[in-house]
Amino acid sequence: MAGESNRKNVVSEYLDQNPHLAQWVESLRGYCETSKQWVARREFILRNMEAYPAVEPGVSSSGLDKLLSLSMVWANHVFLGCRYPQAVMDKIKDMGEGLVVEEAPIQRTTMDGVMARGRRGAGATEGAADGCVKRSKCGMELAGRSAGRTAQRPVGQKSGPAPQAPAEHQPFFNRLYKALAWKLVSAGGFGPNLDHFEILRGCVESCKQTLTCVFVPLKDIMGLPAGRTQKEGHVCELRCQTVYIGTGYGRDESAAKAMASKEALKVFQGRKVTVKICRRRFRGKDVEDLMLLDEQPRSQAFPPALSYPFQNEQHGGSS
């Protein structure tokens, strides 16, 4: 413990001498990181900044993205037991040389294994390593970067999301995937007793965005799935950055919101999430919509859309 305390003092002294650097590096802390995890990863970042001379505090760059990605890979390995391709393991081992974490936990599962527990009952496979590396690279971009970007539609395209919209939204949902991974791991994994809405809302807000909830009485929904004949209750649709992420049914708005949040979190249980343009029904018409999907095959149509961010263009401004 004395060695850890001495290192903290050295880092603190260095940051006291460089206050501009101290403020910037604190902005890199993940929403769900514990103090122990952050202190270790912060030291990893500071110790390796000289290897990336193009990195400037407060300035986005590919060098910064790479350094932050490797810092998260290192932290995932130390605190969560994630395994990566040998070349990546050798790299983070060299970068973390001399950095000792006192009483580091011993993990017996990868992050993917913990995330999947309770839904599929399957442990992580060797192939999860490559996906984990890619998620770390994409997920550790600075919060807010491209978060408020609005898809620009090419001249001549009159309706629906722009073709490049999925690629523009993907970095944000990679960050959200990482934030939810940390949160669910700290909560013991995905399960029925969690407050799914609060977990989802908190992680979305930690990524500098807001969660949109749309409620519609069940009796007003067109194109319900076959067999759903009851007319009581409400339906809730969740969107973030205009991207559809989940629908839920319930006896009231609160229950519908809770079910929609649970369904949305299920999408994040795979190795990755992907933003795609898909066909859906909206007010009796087929439209193209932005949707967040996992890698699971789907045997049925998507739920009808309750809202449509491109409605004015798709329907000429009519309701």
- Phi/psi for 40 (5° steps) reads -70, -45
User: What is the per-residue pLDDT for 224?
Assistant: 57
Number of Cβ within 10 Å of residue 231's Cβ equals: 11
Task: Name the residue ranges covered by the structural domains of the chain.
Answer: 2-139, 165-314
Q: Please report which confidence band the pLDDT of residue 146 belongs to, taking 50, 70 and 90 as the band edges.
A: very low
AA identity, residue 100? V
Mean pLDDT score across all residues of the chain: 74
- Tell me which range, 54-58, 124-128, 239-243, is most confidently predicted by mean pLDDT: 239-243
- C-alpha dist (Å) from residue 7 to 3, 99, 102: 6, 9, 11
Tens digits of residue pLDDT in 71-114: 888 888 888 778 778 888 888 888 888 787 776 654 433 333 33
**pLDDT above 50: residue 1:** no
If one compares 264 and 149, the residue with the highest pLDDT of the two is 264
- CATH number for the segment(s) 165-314: 3.30.160.20
**8-state DSSP, 77:** I
User: pLDDT tens for residues 201-227?
Assistant: 999 999 888 899 999 998 877 655 555
User: What pLDDT is recorded for position 97?
Assistant: 84
Q: Is the pLDDT of residue 199 over 60?
A: yes
What's the confidence (pLDDT) of residue 230?
57
Using pLDDT thresholds of 50, 70 and 90, give the confidence band for residue 136.
very low
Q: For residue 123, which amino acid is it?
A: G
Which position has the token pair 């990524």? 207
How many CA atoms lie less than 13 Å away from 297 in the CB half-sphere? 1
Residue range 168-190, pLDDT digits in tens: 999 999 999 999 988 888 888 88
Contact 149, 222 (CB under 8 A): no
Q: What is the pLDDT of residue 141?
A: 32
